[in-house]
Amino acid sequence: MATPPLHELGAAQAATLLARRELKAEDLVRACLDRVAARDGTIHAFVHLDADAALAQARALDAGPIRGPLHGLPLAVKDLFDTADLPTAYGSAVYAGHRPAADAASVAMCREAGAVLVGKTVTTEFAYFTPGPTANPHNPRHTPGGSSSGSAAAVADRMVPLALGTQTAGSIIRPAAYCGVVGYKPGLGRVMSAGVKSLSPTLDVVGAFGRSVADAALLGAVLTGDLRLLDDHAHGTLRIGLFPSPSWPQADADTQRAWEIATSALARHSDTCQDVAMPQNFDELIQLQKDVMTFEMARSLSHERLHHRAALSPQLVALLDAGMAISGATHQAHLQRTADWRLRIDSLFERHDVLLTPSTTGVAPEGLGATGDPLFCRSWSLLGLPAVHLPFATGAQGLPVGLQLVGRLGEDHKLLAAARRIHERLTR
Amino acid sequence: MATPPLHELGAAQAATLLARRELKAEDLVRACLDRVAARDGTIHAFVHLDADAALAQARALDAGPIRGPLHGLPLAVKDLFDTADLPTAYGSAVYAGHRPAADAASVAMCREAGAVLVGKTVTTEFAYFTPGPTANPHNPRHTPGGSSSGSAAAVADRMVPLALGTQTAGSIIRPAAYCGVVGYKPGLGRVMSAGVKSLSPTLDVVGAFGRSVADAALLGAVLTGDLRLLDDHAHGTLRIGLFPSPSWPQADADTQRAWEIATSALARHSDTCQDVAMPQNFDELIQLQKDVMTFEMARSLSHERLHHRAALSPQLVALLDAGMAISGATHQAHLQRTADWRLRIDSLFERHDVLLTPSTTGVAPEGLGATGDPLFCRSWSLLGLPAVHLPFATGAQGLPVGLQLVGRLGEDHKLLAAARRIHERLTR
């Protein structure tokens, strides 16, 4: 069997070779940097790159003991995470050239586990909707999605095997879907958010991109410290709940086709697929997610709102103004309803191990002026549930499409085990 | 009636005079700065002061329109909050001279409401146990408590009417108790934490110090955006639940005496005091709080743990090492038990509007080498409930002692209204 070019190696496979010293970190990092050099003039995934530092880190790892599960793996980091040795601008001109004093907790933990930080990737402005320059690797006239635009694109384009992202509305699952990679949004509270620009603490989650479930889970295990995420397979029969969601009428022909492919493929196996009884008023979660995010972003970005208004996009200014018009009393009622819904949804998982549901309305829209709609992600972000995007189909113009699996709060390990099995069945 | 010296004015009273233009912000700020100059050589509440900037801000406020509910009020800020115009060191040599790029969200919101930032106050090292130099204003041989040491001491010593603090274990309620001021810890999730050093996101809360409940509530209303916190009085009969807690045997004679004073004073009024049926195994919450905090702090402080170990105190290093030994799987189980307890405790509030419970084991311990025990605060921090410390009695060596009131999640406004009424009865 021909060996694939090094930059195409998946994270888990590369990690095994690196741990056995059958692959040098330096060679892997150099191959990835070469790929970046060849492609990033078109894709614009990176906002900052430090090739020399990455190679030096790789050589140091090659010369020392195995550091941890990410030993020698090239990692790209969304520019919403603080880094001590690379500028961090949060996608905004306000912070051009900003140099944080420390690495974000998740960045430091990845380095502790042996990862090599290759560079910072494009985020939309403060992870909201105003896009950066990143193009979709499958067709550069289409958006890669956002807000973790560069991280998803860099992994999809084989520039790096792994990348860090964040999700507040749909910022991991949506770009993963548009770029055709696996995105893993951990359950709320599992990954420490220190050093990541705080937007909406009720919703913000740090997560991972990879090209397979195993790859994303490897990074997830380091982020959460939960080694159960590395377990190979789900045990026993899976009870898959089919949850097209109340927004199903907005799913276009490509998402509908992905749904057909998945449900008919899964029906051929011993796992059971059952329709989920739709909770009454589930559609109210979309507006509730918007309200919670709007209130919290307006206050979290108070410094920028008060001192840098002219440097913010009109879309962001409109969000912040809308947020300041929501009273704290109203927000408290929203938080209470969110808590009630989180309890109510938990009971669904007595009958279903995981829920299968759309990630996006369809493939990546054309144009780089917008990043698509997080419609199918908002409810799960509000509920704080762990989610994984699975890419497995092709839609219009050869662009990727897939679906997401959603797990129970606290059961990220079961979700990822189920995702491996299901992804295998859908891509075999 | 003689007018008190300006630096002794409470926040609410001063705010009224300022709004009517019967008091100049410049005069109030100058009086507070004079008090700081006279006293801080003994108390060491401030780690950084910028008198010129504060006076300039005050003059600008006097010359312009009324900005908001804190117009012209001097405010001290714990050095765990980022400030764009004052150094921010988080109580650690690691960050000596650090200049953040932006104000923390809560600092920016206070400025937006018209507050004048007088300076940064001493925090223990990363808000854990290793103390700074602050002394207790009632007796400088005694600790002011921690970790919000300087904020509590500055308010107690009449250097400022208001200050910002944070609580993860007992860092607002304990120093408020030791210094004899009101401390208000909002319910979890009510105040945006952006720009405050993140230690344990499951527990961290931003809160307020003042010399009356009304004063702390004024600052709380700005932080939460919830104007109901300004309501003058509780309506109808209060159902006060008496909750000495399973740690009661560790309450010393002073806390026991405060308990006697409070319960007999309250018995003379129409409000009902009832013993709370102690939930089974409630005492396990103390260890659970420690475990959650230890896991999360070890990971949140990863950069410092990996790159600045030699500059950390042995006590903090021991905590971080212990935290890294807790697996993510174990932590997930702890989060699940925390969620179960939060639900279970909520039902207590069907029978009681507020709970009366000790704040501390007794008065401030002698010596500045430690900040006392957060024993009586840990459970409420884990549960995320809003709490207010009420100072109303005097214990050994003339040091202050009091009790805390704990409210239902989401009912900060009811807690503060009850606290006003109860505090009036206990101090009349």
The secondary structure of A102-118 as a DSSP string is S--HHHHHHHHTT-EEE
Structure tokens at B359: 């704040």
Q: Out of B104, B226, B343, name the one closest to residue A329 (CB).
A: B226
Peptide bond into B147 cis (omega under 30): yes
pLDDT of residue B318: 98
Do strands A354-358 and A400-406 pair parallel, antiparallel, or not at all (unpaired)? antiparallel
Intervals of chain A under pLDDT 50:
1
Domain boundaries, chain A: 6-230
Arithmetic mean of pLDDT over chain B: 97
- DSSP letter at A138 equals T
- DSSP letter at B350 equals G
The neighbour count for residue A50, using CB atoms within 10 Å, is 18
pTM: 0.98
B336 touches chain A (CB under 8 A): yes
pLDDT of residue B4: 79
The neighbour count for residue A7, using CB atoms within 10 Å, is 23
A379-A381-A384 Cα angle (round to 5): 110
pLDDT of residue A236: 86
A299-A301-A302 Cα angle (round to 5): 65
Average pLDDT, integer, range B190-218: 98
pLDDT of residue B234: 66
A198·B197 Cβ contact <8 A: no
Active-site positions of A read 78, 147, 171
pLDDT of residue A2: 59
Q: Which residues pair with B242 in a beta bridge?
A: B275, B356
Residues 176-195 of chain A whose Cβ lies under 8 A from any Cβ of chain B: 189-190, 192-195
In this model, does residue B258 exceed pLDDT 90? yes
Assigned fold of A6-230: Amidase signature (AS) enzymes (3.90.1300)
Mutate to test the interface with A, among B303, B304, B344 (most CBs of A within 10 A): B303
Length of chain A in residues, anyone? 428
Give the chain B residue nearest A221 (alpha carbons).
B328
Whole-angstrom Cα distance, residue B405 to residue B386? 8
CA-CA-CA-CA torsion sign (A167, A170, A173, A174): negative
Give the chain A residue nearest B329 (alpha carbons).
A226
Longest dimension (CA), chain A: 64
Residue with tokens 């509730």: A288
pLDDT of residue B269: 84
Residues 6+ apart with CB under 8 A from B45: B36, B76, B121, B122, B134, B144, B149, B150, B151, B153, B154, B157, B159
Tens of pLDDT along B62-116?
999 999 999 999 999 999 999 999 999 999 999 999 999 999 999 999 999 999 9
Q: What share of residues in chain B are helix, strand, coil (percent, to 5)?
A: 45, 15, 40
In contact, B197 and A82? CB cutoff 8 Å: no
Q: Which residues pair with A185 in a beta bridge?
A: A387
pLDDT of residue B236: 85
Q: Out of A227, A299, A335, name the one closest to residue B105 (CB).
A: A299
In contact, B405 and B419? CB cutoff 8 Å: yes
In contact, B333 and B326? CB cutoff 8 Å: no
In this model, does residue B324 exceed pLDDT 70? yes
Q: How confident is the model at residue B270 (pLDDT cuts 50, 70, 90)?
A: confident
Contacts of A104 in chain B (CB under 8 A): 303
The question of whether B171 is a catalytic residue gets the answer: yes
Contacts of B95 in chain A (CB under 8 A): 101
Q: Which residues pair with A142 in a beta bridge?
A: A366, A367
Q: How confident is the model at residue B146 (pLDDT cuts 50, 70, 90)?
A: very high
Q: Which residues pair with A81 in a beta bridge?
A: A196
In this model, does residue B1 exceed pLDDT 60? no
Q: How far is A263 from chain B (nearest CA, A)?
A: 32
Structure tokens at B427: 């101090």
